[in-house]
Structure 1
Amino acid sequence: MAANTPTPSTNTPSRHLPAFSSPAARSVPPTGGSNMLSYDSPAVLNMLNDASSGMGGVGMGISMSGLGMSSLGISASAMGRADEAERTRRLQVILDTIGAKPGRVSEEGLLALCKRMGMPYEKHPDEAGTWSLLIGDEAVCDVTFHNDEIAKVNLQTALDEERPELQFGATGSQILLKSLEPRPGQSKINITLERFSESLQKLLTMDKLGAPQNGGVSCYNAIAGIYTSWRKLFEHEKKTELASRVPDERFRNHRAEREVLCKKSGRPRFNGGSCLGLSLEYWMHRRLMIPRIATNQSEKGKEKMDVDHPPSSYTEDHDPEVNEVYSLSIECESSPSTLYTPIRISNDWISDAIEKPTDANDANASIDNILHNTPSIDWLDPKPTYLEPAAQTDDAMHLDSTPGRLPNIRFVAKFNPPLVVPLAVYMQLYQTVGIEPRTEDFRATTFVGLALRPEEVDPGIMNTTAEATHEIRSSKSTLVIDDQGKEQMRKHQMSLYVPKMEYSRTLESLPFSHPKQIVEILPVLRQYAATTSIVKDCFFEKAQKPASDQKLPLSPPLTPQKNPDQHNMEQPLQLDINLSYTPPTPRLTLHIPHPSSAVPTTKEECGADTSLTSVSDLLSDLLSGPSLSTTPSFKHPLSVTLDIHANGDLVVSEQNLIRVPALQSSGDAGGSEGKDSDADVNMEQAEKVEQKVKRLGKALDVCGDLGVWGEWLRREVVRMEKAGRSRVGCSGCGRHSAQQILGPHETL
């Protein structure tokens, strides 16, 4: 796939926009006679400019000599002629804005950053060119420069002594060093300290919260305890998943890990990827695709790795554009212990048995576990963590010296990236963790405005949510593989229609008191993460990358090939997508032209008549079902509707590619035995058709791209029609799988 070129969104129920729209204001009606001139007319502006030469006018030829500026409500400041105080204020605002941003990567920039953050620093006594950043009482970061370039970063924390198996300092040093290096395609001169400062701020915040004057509770140990329990749960679920797979299955370990990541309790990582600290990964876009780099790694060696030393790098870390990961960064924040449950330091948030039998009398048991009689997670409730008593004092009003005090700190999960959900889901998630959302969050914002067009005015604020169907347009080039195996690029003109604008909110952070609360909401988060990742691939408006940084996300550059049907590829193909964001289930509907409307009929392959016929005729031949209808025209557009269920499961609810046979008996003529026989046959046909329908949704789950999925649907229709019209062995008819259209990646 190539560059995505979004266009501004519109609010019109039809595709045809007005030919001309005047930029003049509509709120003030014209007065006077019919000959009244409008000041947005170019002729009037030219006339005023001509008159300005003899009238001493200013700007656009409008004379100010007879008009008082104060009477018009125009001040000198508004005209751009501010006095000295106003200019000073504006200059200070500019300086404050510039000063708030970290500088470039250099020795001078690093020291300036430390001063701005209030972080002490000193020269290392033994290593030349090394500065030691004193991050509170529990962390020290040594940064070594060589010729004004970063040579080495070494992070040391108190957690390395208490929990050496976590290797927090070693892996954290790699993340800090990576944040100071240029991204692919970025020049060294353009590297800033922004990412580095974010990590320092996170460490500094944890140290301040756990300072002796605040009670001396270590936030490092509290977060490490959650990681220990989550990792125990992850390894148990991964072991169970591996046991259900054959031993010689390819990418067996990757399959198991990503299944737990996207369908079960998520994958916890300590200093994983680019996140310093604990993160819980809960969704991966295109999780069934693995870059070819993974084929060079030893699966057996990875499976033998010690549980206490999980890998700090995965294949998806090297290509985030293909396998975008949605995660939660677990941190601590200040919060009164009287209002919300504070943090607890414990490694025992979950029992060693991990699971427990389902008990219908258990108030905490899940309804799904009870209905399916499956075991549930055996969560534990650790004891509260109390602060150490403060030093003795004669002040009776000094409340900090009272025994049994709880820390004024709570856990918080920060979304990376932020996740847009409907307002009803937003309220439900806050209720799950036992707090009320902030009142200032009640704004008329929508999924389109928050997730797809953040730089435009939100349709909810424009009060257009109930007036017309909102439309967003985009164009992109998609890799297409024809029946002869030749790769070509086809341009797609894509339109997203949102008939009902659901008010939505952006989830940036969510406090919690127990790690089980986060695991319980993961199925809902995955619904909207899956929806967002699919839609944003085609319709998110993002800045264009430099030419040196542009690349095809799923395939290498292609060599143009001559093809007799090249003119068909050059014609843009229209794809229409309907989006329903209303809970409890988001819904996507794709409408794409039938291949017969763009592909000429030919009789050249396999020596058989391969002229395109209707899908219903094909299915009649394939299934030999008497209940299949053959009346619909093959020129009707292909249409598939998908519901995104919990855990991001894609379920086909409607489609017009495959007709589902009705379960009918042959009547009374054959007696009861005849009825049973026919019912068995029809049931078998229904199961086959059901598998074919599920395969339609599976294809989108694999590729994760609406354009690629649409081309695959069109090619599948052609393939099935050819198979239905010619039963001879065909060596070149539509044998390309979804993997081949996706480029240099392996599909699971």
Structure 2
Amino acid sequence: MATPTPSTNTPQRHLPAFSSPAPRSVPGTGPVAMNFDSPAALGIHFGEGGVGMGLSMSMSGLGMSGLGLSASAMGRADEDERRRRLESIIATLKAKPGRVGEEGIIGLCKKEGLEVERETKPGGGVVLVLLIGSEALCEIPIRNGEIESVKLEINADEIGFGASGSKILLESLQPLPGMTKINNTLERFSHNLDKILRWDRLGAPAQGSVSCFQAIFGVYTSLKKLFEHEKKLALAVMEANTPLASQKAEREVLCKKSGRPRLNANKCLGLSLEYWMDRRHVIKNNAKMQQTSGKGKEKMDIDSEAANDYPEDQNPDTNQVYSMTIEFENSPASMYSPIRVSDAWISDAVEKAPDAAEQDLNKLLMNQPTIDWLDPPPTYLQAAAPAGEDAMNLDSTGRLPNVRFIAKFNPPLVMPLGVLVALLQSHNVETRDIEPTTFVGLALRPDEPDPGLQGSSTETTHEIRSEKTVLSVGKDGKEEQHTHTYSLYVPKTDYAKTLESLPFSHPRQLIEILPTLRQYAFTNSLLRRSFLAPPPSKTALASPSSPSAPTHPTLQVDLSLTYAQPAPRLTLTLPHPSSTTSFSSATDLLSSLLAPSSSHKPPISVTLDVSANADLVVLDQNVAAVAPVVTGERNGDMDVDMRGMQENGEKVKRVGGSLEVCGDLGVWGAWLRREGAGE
């Protein structure tokens, strides 16, 4: 097998600036002199190949007219180029939104074609009323150049979308931490306003006046009903007076059940379906969070979704959330199922009765409930289709909207190519632009050439390296600082692709793929934490250090990843704590080699699969001491020690469970070494 190739950060090479050794003005022998500041200039005037060897530099036998050029023409060309560049710069500046303030907001609205009403308030100050189509308006009071508040109103808003949306719009108009007011632009506000405008325009009269807002409200109502039902079941199995029971139940549903729907979550306007959270067992409680068991009646309105109810919003480095934002896009109704405006995507009972005729047999055998999904009728539009519009006319019932649902992934998810293709095909989506990209190139080394695109190579394994500082707790309870050097080996044939968006026609389709999405969300997050270099501003946070924590020799940690189907498989190998990992002299090395074999213990090794819902299945390990299961024969039947088997299973499960809790390969490796040493 070929030697693995280490990945290195190769800086981009820039061509040096060449200049001719000749003077800037070289008199020619012809009637007109030409100036060539560099060989690049020759390429500009005479093509990519230069002037050629047979062409005299003096141009004595060929005047400017022979080339079809003249001095005045060249001067005009220079002026035209400068003019084009200046116009490009002006166009770029015009495209950027202005600064936050009355004039900037009015200018932005004019550029977007929005009608703005300006009202003068008693005692000074003004109120800008932005009329966003036929379904929304936004009021912005301004006094002495300061934005006082923002009020977003949506027609028939019974779920509080406008209330939480107002907070996001107000935050987008306020300076970021460390930013001065003079540098605060309308860029973030413009992004949010553009989303509201896009929804309104997709539901414009030309589309039959379909309401994208009402479609979102209906999907949210059904998903919220499902979430509350599953959260209630999760709370029911918890012990009484469990601390932070409500948050723990929510995270259980988020990561193992049907996900958690949220309106306008984490500064993102719209409906998000959150389906995975890093280190969900770690809850950093805020001082203002109410300490309730969560088993009482909970409010379903927007006031219950305050920032204090979601501590992960304040701690994204610890609890990164993976979600899908449900939006809309143009799509011919004759080619893809259009949106339906309804809040009846699921029955009031949520689950099917055990004796239902359409009960899922597999779930019934596994004692799992079957969700009672409903199929709302199509949403027909009575308006006639505009000329040239591609729509499906159905007799006198009307036509269907040329708009479809689409889920956008935040962050985008790197998945095996075969898994992603199968997922897209199940949603009747064509797979295009398939390239031999890899997990390493897409997820871990996005700024380097992808190893899968390097042409024909005999190498079948790719190696990447990194170094991290890990804080762990020693056997004396004190913090210890370790430096881990990681090596990751990945087959180059494990091709991957990034999933950024996915159209759908029924929310059931999103719920059904959540177990698969969680497999790769966990794998992405786990390996990126160890192998993806953090931004410079976050380096200090990603590499914790403590002046009082003792340092230890560098520890080599080897990992191998098989990313293809049926499940990601990880193997971690690191030295046993009783083995010598560094030698201060040749004598120490020789003594180690000549020592009795009983003093050498094999490296610690764990192999596990990341199965559906990111459940970790340990396939092989030498950390937990597993006792042999005693079997015998009793009355002619085989007698199996069920208790012993259960105890062994719990020990092995604990090895994988520790990785699920910490969500960090370095911390997990330190814990495995302590367990292997019997500390």
TM class, shorter-chain normalised? 0.7 to 0.9
Change (3 A) 1:108 1:696: farther
Match of 2:110 among 93, 107, 115: 115
| Aligned residue in 2 for 1:648 | 614
Counterpart AA for 1:13: P
Residue deviations 1:99-141 (CA, integer Å, cap 9, x gap): 4444454444433433333333232343724322222121112
Map residues 159-238 of structure 1 onto 2, 5 A cutoff.
159-160=156-157, 163=158, 166-184=159-177, 191-238=184-231
Which deviates more, 110-119 or 698-707? 110-119
Counterpart AA for 2:508: K
How far apart, in 1, do the equivalents of 2:386 and 2:668 lie?
70
* Helix, strand or coil at the partner of 2:541: coil
CA contact (8 A) 1:390 1:401 kept: no
How far apart, in 1, do the equivalents of 2:319 and 2:428 lie?
33
* TM-score using structure 2 length: 0.81
How far apart, in 1, do the equivalents of 2:410 and 2:249 lie?
23
Change (3 A) 1:656 1:109: farther
* Helix, strand or coil at the partner of 2:372: strand
| Aligned residue in 1 for 2:66 | none
| Aligned residue in 1 for 2:567 | 585
How far apart, in 1, do the equivalents of 2:385 and 2:329 lie?
25
CA contact (8 A) 1:418 1:506 kept: yes
TM-aligned CA deviation for residue 349 of structure 1 = 0.9
How far apart, in 2, do the equivalents of 1:687 and 1:705 lie?
27
TM-aligned CA deviation for residue 488 of structure 1 = 3.6
CA contact (8 A) 1:465 1:501 kept: no
How far apart, in 2, do the equivalents of 1:391 and 1:462 lie?
50
Match of 2:400 among 397, 400, 406: 406
Residue deviations 1:19-60 (CA, integer Å, cap 9, x gap): x99x999xxxxxxxxxxxxxx9xxxx9xx999989xx9xxxx
TM-aligned CA deviation for residue 319 of structure 1 = 1.2
| Aligned residue in 1 for 2:513 | 521
Q: Is 1:575 equivalent to 2:557 in the alignment? A: yes
Counterpart AA for 1:587: R
Change (3 A) 1:64 1:113: closer
| Higher RCO, 1 vs 2 (CA within 8 Å, ≥6 residues apart) | 1
| Aligned residue in 2 for 1:714 | 673
**Amino-acid identity (%):** 49
Q: Is 1:343 equivalent to 2:339 in the alignment? A: yes
Change (3 A) 1:120 1:384: same
CA contact (8 A) 2:96 2:187 kept: yes
Change (3 A) 1:633 1:442: farther
Q: Is 1:494 equivalent to 2:486 in the alignment? A: yes
CA contact (8 A) 1:360 1:370 kept: no
Residue deviations 1:209-246 (CA, integer Å, cap 9, x gap): 11223211111111111111111111111111111111
How far apart, in 2, do the equivalents of 1:106 and 1:525 lie?
43
TM-aligned CA deviation for residue 525 of structure 1 = 0.8
Counterpart AA for 1:73: G
Map residues 118-137 of structure 1 onto 2, 5 A cutoff.
118-126=113-121, 128-137=125-134
| Aligned residue in 2 for 1:13 | 4
How far apart, in 2, do the equivalents of 1:639 and 1:715 lie?
13
Unaligned runs of 5+ in 1: 1-10, 26-39, 602-629, 723-748
Change (3 A) 1:116 1:652: farther
Counterpart AA for 2:478: K
How far apart, in 2, do the equivalents of 1:600 and 1:103 lie?
60
Match of 2:311 among 312, 315, 328: 315
How far apart, in 1, do the equivalents of 2:437 and 2:282 lie?
34
* Helix, strand or coil at the partner of 1:293: coil
Change (3 A) 1:491 1:318: same
CA contact (8 A) 1:182 1:191 kept: yes
Counterpart AA for 1:552: L
| Aligned residue in 1 for 2:73 | none
Q: Is 1:433 equivalent to 2:391 in the alignment? A: no
Match of 1:152 among 149, 153, 173: 149
Change (3 A) 1:184 1:550: farther
* Helix, strand or coil at the partner of 1:497: strand
* Helix, strand or coil at the partner of 2:502: strand
Change (3 A) 1:481 1:188: farther
TM-aligned CA deviation for residue 456 of structure 1 = 2.2
How far apart, in 2, do the equivalents of 1:673 and 1:403 lie?
75
How far apart, in 1, do the equivalents of 2:416 and 2:488 lie?
18
Q: Is 1:240 equivalent to 2:272 in the alignment? A: no
| Aligned residue in 2 for 1:739 | none
How far apart, in 2, do the equivalents of 1:221 and 1:388 lie?
17
How far apart, in 2, do the equivalents of 1:385 and 1:636 lie?
66
CA contact (8 A) 1:168 1:270 kept: yes
Map residues 647-686 of structure 1 onto 2, 5 A cutoff.
647-658=613-624, 660-663=626-629, 665=631, 672=634, 679-680=640-641, 683-686=642-645
Q: Is 1:444 equivalent to 2:436 in the alignment? A: yes
C-alpha RMSD of the superposition = 4.3
Map residues 355-504 of structure 1 onto 2, 5 A cutoff.
355-357=351-353, 362=358, 366=360, 368-390=362-384, 403-437=397-431, 439=432, 441-463=433-455, 467-504=459-496
CA contact (8 A) 1:379 1:516 kept: yes
Counterpart AA for 1:693: V
CA contact (8 A) 1:216 1:388 kept: no
TM-aligned CA deviation for residue 478 of structure 1 = 1.5
Q: Is 1:687 equivalent to 2:646 in the alignment? A: yes
Match of 1:552 among 537, 541, 556: 541
Residue deviations 1:590-646 (CA, integer Å, cap 9, x gap): 222222246899xxxxxxxxxxxxxxxxxxxxxxxxxxxx98864432221221111
Change (3 A) 1:152 1:68: closer
Q: Is 1:140 equivalent to 2:137 in the alignment? A: yes
| Aligned residue in 1 for 2:593 | none
Counterpart AA for 2:556: Q
TM-aligned CA deviation for residue 460 of structure 1 = 2.0
| Aligned residue in 2 for 1:280 | 273
TM-aligned CA deviation for residue 328 of structure 1 = 0.9
Residue deviations 1:498-539 (CA, integer Å, cap 9, x gap): 123422222221111111111111111111111111111122
Change (3 A) 1:258 1:405: same
